[in-house]
Amino acid sequence: MQIYDYTVKDRKGNDVPMSNFKGKVLLIVNTATGCGFTPQYEGIEKLYEAYHEQGLEVLDFPCNQFGNQAPGNDEEIHEFCTFKYNTQFDQFKKVDVNGVNQDPLWAYLKSQKGFKGFDLKGKILIPIVKKMDPNYKNSSDIKWNFTKFLVDREGNVVERFESTIAPEKIEVIIKELI
């Protein structure tokens, strides 16, 4: 399987084949509206505005699995993001990114790029993540909101960025892929 074999749901519940994004650079993010990392929406939107016309697509998947920080329904989440952060990129139906009900796309993404550890800023998450999963270091599971995957124009998952990596820090890689 490759990324283009999957189908996801938009926020209204309609099927969206990932093949619709063939030839695009994809930034795929699990998000939450009530998280300490929620202000990353601003940086993600800036990347979208700067590189969308050159082929960047941002795929936003709200997820309520980490601290119940995305409690709203899909429309409430969309309204929050567009009102507070003026987001223009695609927002999809809320998903589980881990566990028995995980979205198949997210299972695929994790199989392509596992967890490699936290940066120095990420050390603040270790006690929280360790409570949820004592074996977190050896698991490819998503650790928290705003984990980001970067996919090239051929559909290859080229990198995974943990929550503490600000969107601005990945701009250089996006530029290389555009």
The residues annotated as belonging to the active site are 35
CA dist., res. 168 & res. 76, Å (int): 27
Give the angle subtended at the CA of 55 by the CAs of 166 and 20, to the nearest 5°: 105
- Sign for the pseudo-dihedral over CA of 71, 72, 73, 75: negative
C-alpha closest to that of 151 among 23, 25, 21: 25
Q: Are 40 and 146 in contact (CB under 8 A)?
A: yes
All residues at 6 or more sequence positions from 172 whose CB lies less than 8 Å from its CB, including other chains: none
- Show the tokens assigned to 22: 């063939």
